Structure 1
Amino acid sequence: MIELETADYARAEQMLAPYRARRVPGAAVVPQWFAEGTRFWYRIGSRFTVVDPGEGTRRAAFDHDRLAAALSVASGTAVAADDLPFTAIDLEAPGRDPDTMRFAAFEATWEWSDRAGTCVRVEEPQPGLSDVPSPDREWIAFRRDDDIWVRSRDGEQEFALTDDGEPDHGYGFLPEPLNSGVLMRKFGLDPLIVHWSPDSTRLLVPRVDQRDLPEQVLVESSPAGGGRPVARHIRYPMPGDEAQPTLAWVVLDVPSRSVVAQQDAPEPLLHPGALMTAWWTGEKGEAVHLVHRSRDVRTLELRRLDPATGEITTLVSESGETRVDPTPELGETPMVHVLATGEVLWWSQRDGWGHMYLYSADGTTEQVTRGPWLVRRVLWVDEERRQVWFLANGLVDDDPYVRQICRIGLDGTGFTRLTDDALDHDAVSPPEGGHLVDRASDVATPPRSTVRAGDGQVLVELEAPDTAALEALGWAPPERFRTTAADGRTPIHGLLWKPHGFDPARRYPVIDCIYPGPQIHRSSPAFDTVIPGEAEAFAALGFAVVTVDGRGTPGRSKAFHDASWGALDDAGSLVDHVAAIRELGLRHPWIDTGRVGITGHSGGGFATARAMVAHPELYTVGVASAGNHDVGWYVPMWIEWYHGSVDDEARRALSTPALAANLQGKLLLIQGELDDNVLPFHALRLVDALIEADKDVDLLIIPGVEHSLMGRRHYATRRTWDHFVRHLHGSEPPSYRLAPFPPPDLGV
């Protein structure tokens, strides 16, 4: 038995994502491109850096010390150079001196001249958090009530572009299922979805219709200020419902104030990501291209919308017996590139892997890449040289998830692997290409960030952090492991963290940190995993921790991913998790497979409870947070896209409450009362079934919070730790309270 002290909890707290990143400054380089498309800037903490790949230079974006001193005087508030209070920043704007920048701080806008060393308050109206400036910064699009408006940069002009918006049938908004509406309102956000044309004259806007959809009600038990509970009504259709939100695209012309709507009828909108799969093409925006998925996602199309007439033409159409995906993982930018020649570069898994195909203007198709590996992301297409740069999975022996940077001709010749190490490369390029910003890492090595030329040569070194500050807290990198799936032949991969203060002579309980997919994979070969800090905190508490990517998760072959089709009830192949943990127990005598816990959030919450009732012989302790336990009554996308059928049989197969009588271990359910993604009835239905089966269960309903438990996540985390310490370690948790987590940085 391990007796934990407050110091152990304090150390675990520092492993959590809000704090862990501070221990490895420079690990996350996110380039922000300047308008000319070659230079970029990035931010590390309060340090802002400008990079010019053409000159091979990297320099401070401004004099941080002088700015802090000047802002302290101008604002009357002390400011430190290493803690700049920016909530937004604009390093360039048309017509402004290139040595000046603007930023928001202390609820005001300021202009800083790096040459003159002056900091002055600016009264010109600035975009709100939900406003969208045009590329030339002359116009700002915003929504008023349910219509789209624009105002000029100087605020002297303001007018509506639509006048027929109405509640639940308006412009540029997200439908309520999966829109995180409660969280957005908490931060004062109302996201506006619009796409400006390159010449800043037109807006491509979705018109969303969620009228006549069934309503669900959330009850806010403890509103601020007290008083009666408040009912929150949301539109929330279920799988199989004929009525779903619909989407129609509209082009709004600012100079003429004209409106052109698509000629085709609106289409069902099952996932808000569809609002981001439309883009302008041509120097001025001569056309709009759309990636369209059928409701059953077995047909994927590239369509062209004529912005002058609203006519829609289908250019590419592909169908399959299961999902036809535009990318390996949900939420990524579709790998579709329309060339000036009229050719289309198109990603497809038609040969069993994810490869690129070139559709010519006359309709013929040629395969560009091929082999038992997949194109993970298209980085840059050079139409003049007829070459494409991309990330590829499956080129490194023994680990199909490691990404490498490659180049090939559009005719399929000249394949070149530009990186030939065993590191995972996460690269991006500017909009017009020309170079690559590369972050190379593995599970033990923080990302070394560089700028690479098209031939792979390093042009500029950016950041190369180390892990010394983490190691001082007892951190050690996880082991990247390979085991065999439950079928006895398929290799699967995962991560294993040893407990802090590891002693090979002891036996440690293990926690499976699960998210089942099937839309993402869990165990990254990179330094910054999908769950930075979560697993490492459990390791700091004396647990061995595993993550596993079983069959049915993406990132490998089409067949590997399709193992989840019609088998969503196995939650990303729980049988593979069981097989992996048992095999690890045979390899490592210090892993106690008689004490196995499991935890996850959202889909991971579903998988956690599912594991506890489907595999009670292994999983004895679980914490399921915000789990969609009755999937047949969750948002339509999950079951319709990843299970394939919606009928009574499917609903029964996917219902965890139906297996409640199998529970043997200690299960804690955590649920936010205002969760507008996974509605609270999921937890309560499971509790109801467990009561009916006379099974013990712990339930924590957290008032006032939504799906992410924002604002009270620290409390849920501490209760999760206590549950595992009490029931897996077998000891009483120390008296320790976690501090509220810092809010996310929404502005800069």
Structure 2
Amino acid sequence: MLDILFSKKGIFLLLFCAGILGTEAVCSQGMDAKYKRYNEFKELTKNKVLHGYFKPVWIKNTHTFWYEVLTESGKKYYVVNADQHKKKEVLDENKLLANLSGLTNKQVKAEEIDHLKINDDLKSFQFVYGNHIWEGSLSSNKLSKQEVYQKPQPFNWTMAQPDQTINEPVTSPDGKWLGFIRDYNLFVRDIKTNNEIQLSYDGGLGLYYSSYIQWSPDSKSVMAYLVQPADKHFVNYIESSPLSQKQPVYSSIEYYKPGDALPQFYPCIFNIEKKKLVASGRAYIPNQYSVENIDWNSDGGSLTFEYNQRGHQVYQVIKMDAVSGEVKVVIDETSETFIDYSSKKYRYNVNDGNEIIWASERDGWNHLYLYDGNTGKVVNQITKGNWVVRNVVHVDEGERKIIFAASGKEEGDPYLLHYYSVDFNGNNLKHLTPGNGNHRLSFSSDYTSFVDSWSRVDLPPVTVLRDAESGDELMQLEKSDISKLQETGWEMPEVFVSKGRDDKTDIWGMILKPSNFDPSKTYPVIEYIYAGPHSNHVPKDFRAHYNRCRSSLTELGFVVVMIDGMGTSNRSKAFHDVCWKNLKDAGFPDRIKWMKSAAEKYAYMDISKVGIYGKSAGGQNSTGAVLFYPEFYKVAASVCGCHDNRMDKIWWNEQWMGWPVGPEYAACSNVDNAYRLKGDLFLIVGEMDQNVDPTSTYQVADALIKANKDFDLMLLPGKGHEWGGEYGERRICNYFVDKIMQQKAPVMNQIEFEGSLIKKDIDIDN
């Protein structure tokens, strides 16, 4: 009997194991299909939005512009006369391709042509093909090959301070004087007589005058900075696998971090006739972060400059009188937390500085104020309300009118950009961009008309020409057609809003779903995060494909969400202040509550094991999620993260974390808190990252090892502040498939293919 029981148990176990193996086989087949879709989906959605966004190019000093747009028959190029409200086609891409193919004896594809532009004469055009610039005639089929195309140099992240001693002598506006530095002091030379006058005597090693001097317009005075230098900070690199040689290459860049000493610049005004110092700003601007935007008034009687005190809680506009020597604060901006000088600061001098238009968050929202530039008194507040001025487009001094962008004034999504005009006195506020969407504008050079393209993530773009005075529509230019995109199975993103941690504030985000979405199924949720306080980050414009793994992850069976939590910008000052000395917060209480609300509404969202990933500040955020909120976030991938704010660039981190460097830096550090890790973590870093010091990631790895934690680390040889291209994207996607779905991705090492599959960096495309 016992044998029979064991036999039955054995049969049961055999059948059970067979079931598991069968399920794994089915799962494997299912993942293969998903990865096939993942590989194909980007190309499948490419060029499927017709008559969509375009960039208008205005012909200088005219009311005429041209644009290119994708149509049913390829790209078309149009010229529009804004006065006559007429457009005409001037170039057909298909004819151009046929012509170029005939000249080169090669079938030229549309994607091989770059940087096409219509020239200002509206008779010719240029483009780049085969590493050369080509010229073409709009009235004939004539094409001619020109010089070799020089690619733009990549952005250099170095913070190198210019050498203040090497500038050439500077000639006065009247041509009579030459200003220069000798033995650390300021001299002027009479060009006619060659006589020299020494103006300063207090310069020396460690405290000297800058050779970048600035003459007053009347040539009676000269301004030179008295400079107190500081030690330089360098970040050092080893490029392990350079293309130039077998051995590694060593390099360094000048790079300043929170707490580093900074050079100090003290503006000093010297009178040439009196041969002496008249005014010095040295006593008024201690602990500088920066002194900049020196402006002489037109008669040379005074100058103004902006003083940003270290810690970014004091920002002033200071006026120095070149005759009396008086130094006074004209605008005194202070904050108990931070002044968002890097994103919201705006100053415009009206009537030679007798009036100043200034942006401030002093009433809790970013608005414009009109100042008396002489007394420093506020004449009036120009804009007001529970909404945010985002950008000043144009100031018309004659009409005393401002055109600006703002968000939050209209109903609905408070991040959608709209444009307005208003008088200097705050009257006649006029909405110029009707339409419930995010508006992108391009103005004629005289600001009499503009092209308005608007959309939302769930609404394809419409583009019209409007009158800049009234906002009235003059003519429709393009209206999107997404029918071909929808035929691919593409799923429209969804905007979702719920209450934040305070149960009062609306938190806005969006949901991306797979193209074969089935609401009766459940999908694990992954958050793509970037919580940098310098802006808001959830997309607002319509697009067919979301790079940086977002669309790829949906095709693998995930739902991807993006959320702007508290601590990000472009809402109220109180909303923004949550980040102050508290970057580890990253809006997580709002994000978690948002996802729980969404999951309550949508049964298809499975938040039992949420994943999260991001790059740079998003890399810090995603690692912080699994360290500080492990009960909710279970799996994270972090790319080039600024994991410790003491290790990252000075301007960004001191802006939000404050100065001097206090204990808050350690409290927010992923390095100091690495021991908290409970979930799965995948760290990725480019060894040549010049934006965020890559040692920030290495120090997290070191701390995790010392805490005896399991994690994954991928180093990208030769790469900078990047995702790692198609390879990095695949590895991130695979990580979530493995850790959240607990399924295996296709093993690339067992697949035969010709050459490399890595074609380009995923950061190239939006």
TM normalised by structure 1 equals: 0.76
Matches within 5 A, 1:173-572: 212-224=231-243, 226-243=245-262, 293-301=308-316, 316-326=331-341, 330=342, 335-340=346-351, 342-363=354-375, 364-365=377-378, 366-454=380-468, 455-528=470-543, 534-570=549-585, 572=586
Q: 1:109 to 1:591 in 2, by over 3 A?
A: closer
Q: Is the Cα contact below 8 Å between 2:510 and 2:561 reproduced in 1? A: yes
Q: State the secondary structure of the residue aligned to 2:337.
A: coil
**Is the contact made by 2:100 and 2:108 (CA closer than 8 Å) also made in structure 1?**
no
Aligned partners of 2:67 and 2:297: how far apart in 1?
27
Aligned partner letter, 1:432: D
What per-residue deviation string (whole Å, max 9, x for no partner) do you get for residues 67-95 of structure 1? 55555566x35475845624475713xxx
What SS is found at the alignment partner of 1:631?
coil
Q: Is the 1:426–1:438 contact (alpha carbons within 8 Å) kept by the matching residues of 2?
A: yes
Contact 2:266 2:281 in 1 (8 A): no
CA displacement at 1:163 relative to structure 2: 12
Distance 1:367 1:303 in 2: 20
Q: Which shifted more, 229-238 or 696-705?
A: 229-238
Tell me whether 1:85 sits opposite 2:113 in the alignment: yes
Partner of 1:42: 67
Q: Is the 8 A contact 1:500 1:541 kept in 2?
A: no
Other-structure match for 2:144? 120
1:728 corresponds to: 740
Alpha-carbon contact 2:438-2:456 (below 8 Å) kept: yes
Q: Structure 1 246/111 Cα, relative in aligned 2: closer, same or farther at 3 Å?
A: farther
- SS in structure 2 opposite 1:11? helix
Q: Secondary structure at the match of 1:216?
A: strand
Q: How far is the alpha carbon of 1:13 from its aligned partner? A: 4.4
Equivalent position SS for 2:646: helix
Distance 1:228 1:104 in 2: 36
Offset of 1:263 from its aligned partner? 9.6
- 1:32 maps to 57
1:625-657 Cα offsets, whole Å, 9 max, x none, are: 111112222111232101224435123112112
Q: Which moved more, 1:654-663 or 1:693-702?
A: 654-663
* 1:170 aligned residue: none
Contact 1:447 1:527 in 2 (8 A): yes
CA positional deviation for 1:41 = 3.0
Aligned pair partner of 2:670 in 656, 660, 677: 656
**2:619 and 2:642 in contact (8 A); partners too:** yes
- Contact 1:11 1:473 (C-alpha < 8 Å) held by counterparts: no
Kindly indicate whether the alpha-carbon contact (under 8 Å) linking 1:79 and 1:85 is maintained by their aligned counterparts in 2: no
Q: Cα distance, 1:53 vs. partner?
A: 1.6
User: Cα–Cα, structure 1 residues 127 and 695, in superposed 2: closer, same or farther, change >3 Å?
Assistant: closer
Question: Could you tell me how far 1:468 is from its partner in structure 2?
Answer: 2.9
Q: CA deviation at 1:615?
A: 0.9
| Partners of 1:676 and 1:499 in 2: CA distance | 35
> After superposition, where does 1:26-175 map in structure 2 within 5 Å?
26-36=51-61, 38-44=63-69, 47-62=76-91, 64=93, 67-68=96-97, 71-72=100-101, 76=104, 78=106, 80=108, 82-83=110-111, 85-87=113-115, 89=117, 91-92=119-120, 98-115=122-139, 117-122=141-146, 129=152
* Offset from partner CA, 1:443-487 (integer Å, 9 cap, x none): 211221222112112223233223334333332222211222223
Cα displacement string for residues 268-327 of structure 1 (whole angstroms, at most 9, x for unaligned residues): 9979xx99x899999xxx999976644322233457999xxxx9997644232232235x
Partner SS, residue 672 of structure 2: helix
Alpha-carbon distance, 1:122 to partner: 4.9
CA distance, structure 2, for counterparts of residue 504 and residue 47 of structure 1:
39
CA positional deviation for 1:441: 0.9
Q: In structure 1, what is the Cα distance between the partners aligned to 2:589 and 2:666?
A: 19
8 Å Cα contact 2:566/2:578 also seen in 1: yes
Q: Does 1:8 align with 2:34?
A: yes
Contact 2:355/2:371 (8 A) holds in 1:
yes
Residues 516 and 657 of structure 1: CA distance in aligned 2, closer, same or farther (over 3 Å): same
Alignment of 1:498-647 (within 5 A): 498-528=513-543, 534-570=549-585, 572-647=586-661
AA partner of residue 594 (structure 1): S
* Contact 1:523 1:529 (8 Å CA) reproduced: no
Local SS of the residue matching 2:261: coil
- Residue in 2 that maps onto 1:139: none
| Kept after mapping to 1: 8 A contact 2:637/2:682 | yes
**SS in structure 1 of the partner of residue 385 of structure 2:** coil
* 3-state secondary structure, aligned to 2:651: helix
Contact 1:566 1:645 in 2 (8 A): no
Q: Is the 8 A contact 2:630 2:679 kept in 1?
A: yes
User: Using the alignment, how far apart are the partners of 2:348 and 2:126 within structure 1?
Assistant: 34
Contact in 2 for aligned 1:514/1:608 (Cα 8 Å): yes
Gaps of 5+ in 2: 1-22, 155-161, 169-177, 182-224, 269-278, 749-755
- Once the two structures are TM-superposed, the CA of residue 111 in structure 1 deviates from its matched residue by 3.5
Question: In the alignment, is the contact (CA less than 8 A) between 2:115 and 2:128 conserved in 1?
Answer: yes
Q: Mark the CA change 1:371 to 1:744 in structure 2 (over 3 Å): closer, same or farther.
A: closer
Identity of aligned residues (%): 29
Structure 1 residues without counterparts, runs of 5 or longer: 132-142, 150-160, 165-205, 250-261
Q: In the superposition, relative to structure 1, how do residues 383 and 238 fare at CA in structure 2: closer, same or farther (>3 Å)? A: closer
Deviations 1:89-126 (A, max 9, x none): 5713xxxx552344444444443332354333456x99
The answer to whether the 8 Å contact 1:450/1:459 transfers is yes
681, 690, 693: which one pairs with 2:707? 693
Question: C-alpha offsets along residues 32-84 of structure 1, whole Å, 9 cap, x if unaligned?
Answer: 3322153333344765433332222333454655655555566x354758456
Is the 8 Å Cα contact of residues 656 and 686 (structure 1) preserved in structure 2? yes
Residue type matched to 1:91 in 2? N
TM-score (norm 2): 0.74
> Against the structure 1 CA distance between its residues 745 and 236, is the aligned structure 2 distance closer, same or farther, given a 3 Å change threshold?
closer
Asked if the contact 1:64–1:81 (Cα under 8 Å) also holds between the matched residues in 2, the reply is no
Distance, in Å, in 2 between the alignment partners of 1:497 and 1:64 is: 33
1:441–1:526 Cα contact (<8 Å) kept:
yes
- Quick check: 1:380–1:390 contact (8 Å CA) kept in 2? yes
Partner AA of 1:230 in structure 2: V
Aligned CA distance change for structure 1 residues 380 and 215 (closer, same or farther; 3 Å): closer
Aligned-partner Cα distance in 1 for 2:119–2:294: 28
Root-mean-square deviation (Å):
4.5
- Deviation at residue 232 of structure 1 after TM alignment: 1.9
Residues 581 and 665 in structure 2, CA contact (< 8 A), matched pair in contact too? no
Higher relative contact order (CA 8 A, sep 6+): 1
CA distance in 2, matches of 1:91, 1:481: 44
Question: Cα distance, 1:548 vs. partner?
Answer: 1.4
Report the Cα distance in structure 2 between the residues aligned to 1:19 and 1:298, rounded to whole angstroms.
50
AA paired with 1:8? Answer: K
1:603 and 1:163 map into 2 onto residues whose CA distance is 44
Q: How far apart, in 1, do the equivalents of 2:179 and 2:50 lie?
A: 46
Tell me if the contact between 1:671 and 1:683 (Cα under 8 Å) persists in the aligned partners: yes
